[in-house]
Structure 1
Amino acid sequence: MTTRTGQVNCNITISADGYSAGLNQTEERPFGDDGSDGTGGKLHAWMFDSPEENQAEIDQMAAAAAFIMGRNMFGPVRGEWDRPWNGWWGDNPPFHTPVFVLTHHERDPQPMDGGTTFHFVTDGIESALEQARAAAGDGDVTIVGGATTINQYLTAGLVDELRLHIVPFTLGAGTRLFEGVPPLNLEQVKSRAATSVTHVTYRVLS
């Protein structure tokens, strides 16, 4: 029997009240009403405005051997793929590894520049994780969101570690982490406060 050495972690930026996106998400406003211009600038400014201060967390996020994301994180729903579209991520997405996208609609794998290939999984979260683990080998699998997808994996007990990047403002409504998730036992592994974000890592015990 082979022992798996890689772990399954979730990595997500949230507001202080737990939202990963505001209301009214569109193609032009992927994070909806996020309190700024709607492009995710306020939620994710820590990654782009002060990357040197947060380089360790950015590098850790990029170190996964495979990724999982929800359909809406790949791009907004377009019925049954009514026109070809490469998602939010441009021609050279930042993943550079296989990415498994949860969706209800079949689509051929989509290779991109830089080594990223999007694989579209229609048979559930367990299948996506099985495929991601196979692709990752001994490396880690990172579930990058959105919150609805992470909530499904937390509810199913499939997460080893939860990495939160908490920004100091509230949204009040939108897509919320832990929504509908049963009570969890978490062990704090580490935390670090930066200028515009606090990074907290929890081990999921049950």
Structure 2
Amino acid sequence: MTKVIADITMSLDGYVTGPGADVEHGLGDAEELHEWVFSQDRVDTEILEGATAVSGAVVMGRRLFDTVDGPHGWNETMGYGADQVGTPPFVVVTHSPPSEVRLERDLGMRFTFAAGVSEAIEQARLVAGEGHVVIMGGGDVIAQALDGDLVDELRLHIAPMLLGGGTPLFGRGTRRRYRQAEVRPSTNAIHVTYERVTDPDAAR
């Protein structure tokens, strides 16, 4: 059965980018946040390979799309899943679809656009096949999906650093309960998987 998985890296104090994040500087001044992606040990590699392999379709926000589709974004050797360069269909949450997509033109990737998070997830379900729907970010899109109770599984890659500011993953929202399903430490991060709890008594 297709699951909706929110998958993102964050700092110890809950930020998914540092200050100064924009289209050209996707992580702001916090490139070290994704050190686990680029300086992989065995656990990091297994996490990336496994996550990429089960991604039937991927949802992302417009700011993240503009970053990866920009001139310094994804290419033939670095893309979805880092060096895995996965090519599932992508659905972008935006009210203003672009007239042209570089990644479609140059690399043959597939992009569609949806006006809201719920609509994007439903579009992704239709094309996910036997894989899962993965929401890769940004933080605001994942926060909306969590607040709307649309996420079956939350995967956090916790980098060993405090940023002190930037883009927070969590703000004020609806209270939710999760079950800790897996914890895998690497030399670069702690990879934690949480499952949504629909029956509060089942979490005890």
Structure 1 residues 196, 85: closer, same or farther in 2, change over 3 A? closer
Under a length normalisation based on structure 1, what TM-score does the superposition of the two structures give?
A: 0.83
Check whether the contact 2:43–2:185 (CA below 8 A) recurs between aligned residues: no
For structure 2, the residue ranges without an aligned partner over 5 or more in a row are 80-84, 199-204
Under a length normalisation based on structure 2, what TM-score does the superposition of the two structures give?
A: 0.83
Query: Higher helix proportion, which one?
Result: 2
Alignment partner, residue 201 of structure 2:
none
Choose the corresponding residue for 1:191, options 175, 183, 200: 183
Q: Distance in 2 between matches of 1:133 and 1:108?
A: 24
Check whether the contact 2:5–2:154 (CA below 8 A) recurs between aligned residues: yes
User: What secondary structure does 1:154 align onto?
Assistant: helix
Q: Distance in 1 between matches of 2:43 and 2:95?
A: 39
Residue-by-residue CA offset, 1:59-94 (whole Å, 9 max, x unaligned)? 122120100001111125xxxxxxx95673236743
Check whether the contact 2:160–2:188 (CA below 8 A) recurs between aligned residues: yes
Q: Distance in 2 between matches of 1:90 and 1:138?
A: 26
Matches within 5 A, 1:1-206: 5-34=1-30, 40=31, 42-63=32-53, 64-75=55-66, 85=70, 88-90=73-75, 93=79, 94-107=85-98, 110=101, 111-112=104-105, 116-121=109-114, 123-206=115-198
AA aligned to 2:93 is L
Check whether the contact 1:9–1:141 (CA below 8 A) recurs between aligned residues: yes
TM-superposed deviation, 1:52: 3.3
RMSD: 2.1
Moved more, 62-71 or 48-57: 48-57
Check whether the contact 1:91–1:112 (CA below 8 A) recurs between aligned residues: no
Q: Distance in 1 between matches of 2:176 and 2:134?
A: 19
Moved more, 42-51 or 195-204: 42-51
Aligned length: 188
Q: Distance in 1 between matches of 2:89 and 2:105?
A: 10
Q: Distance in 1 between matches of 2:14 and 2:120?
A: 25
For structure 1, the residue ranges without an aligned partner over 5 or more in a row are 35-39, 77-83
Structure 1 residues 141, 86: closer, same or farther in 2, change over 3 A? farther
Check whether the contact 1:187–1:202 (CA below 8 A) recurs between aligned residues: yes
TM-superposed deviation, 1:114: 5.3
AA aligned to 1:52 is R
Structure 1 residues 200, 173: closer, same or farther in 2, change over 3 A? same
Structure 1 residues 117, 18: closer, same or farther in 2, change over 3 A? same
User: What secondary structure does 1:75 align onto?
Assistant: helix
